[in-house]
Structure 1
């Protein structure tokens, strides 16, 4: 794109073609190395002086316009910089807030996860212990049941002997044995009742314990179930 000097020289050439009296002025303006203050315009001194003044005025106006444009650009950039900086500061502050919230949420989630894992490990250990206790109680119950059956069989046999001893021709020695058998039967029945009572109490204690542990486990798992919902 031509600058103001080229446009001005082109217009001077067009005028000189129509009125060729200022060729030296055109040549002086066409030469960028020749200073305008040294242009010698012998053909028309008054016209050359007016041209030099005009050129000087245009150069001064150009310099003023360039200075104004430069100062305006600097002012705009200086005004835009604080605005951009303020926007960056606001975005950075929001990012810091989001990061802090994410870290807090992560810490809370990790704490809940550790609590759930600890509770799960405790329940697994308790389940193993309960399984061993159940197996022990089952073995005790089986042994007591067999013992009770043996006692019942023994009592049936002794009753048969007592019935045989009640015959009229029974010998006095048989009567003594009958008394002894009666005592043994009484003791066996007492032992049987004791075994039955112990067996029932054992089962009742075991059922009560299992119910309490199941209720405690349900209460402990309620927060985890609520969180899962």
Structure 2
């Protein structure tokens, strides 16, 4: 799962809108624009600390301080949390499904495809126009009807975020209108969704959370945006 922590009072300075509004540049410094061979990495690994997270351009120092929950210890769920298989089976049968009222927007894509954007009903009148927007990308065959999506949605709304669930083609009762289906390698829909949401709320920072296949699509999209930005 690719997830951004919601445990801070203010959103971090970098978001999906970084190309237009943020001061956090994804363009690498001159020092990082070189190729390092595997032999060089192995030779230096014994002397230098190798971080578990690397961000091109040194932006890691700007991102990580905002994610307070990264440093919190993991606390297993009582009784069932001792085994990952038992925990998965338990939640599949007993996890609650929050009651959320959605307002659906069908977005027609450039290739005449269709995706469904489920916004939380009443947020337009309840939240300021500049509230941060969180785009949720469910896992394989998932949609706004899944429990894990709705639980994340409620946590984000409690923080004052505007949330929209991105239901891929054929998921969450979204229609299939073209031979092109969604996949981990197809980035056309997520690109159009981000652009559409950004145009709808031009004063808001955009963020995204993805699970499983949704996380794969999100990471590939961010990688593509970074490459395009570097070569501009």
Q: TM-score when scaled to structure 2?
A: 0.13
The one of the two structures with greater contact order (alpha-carbon pairs below 8 A, sep at least 6) is 2
Q: Which has the larger radius of gyration?
A: 1
Q: TM-score when scaled to structure 1?
A: 0.13
> Comparing both structures, which one devotes a greater share of its residues to helix?
1
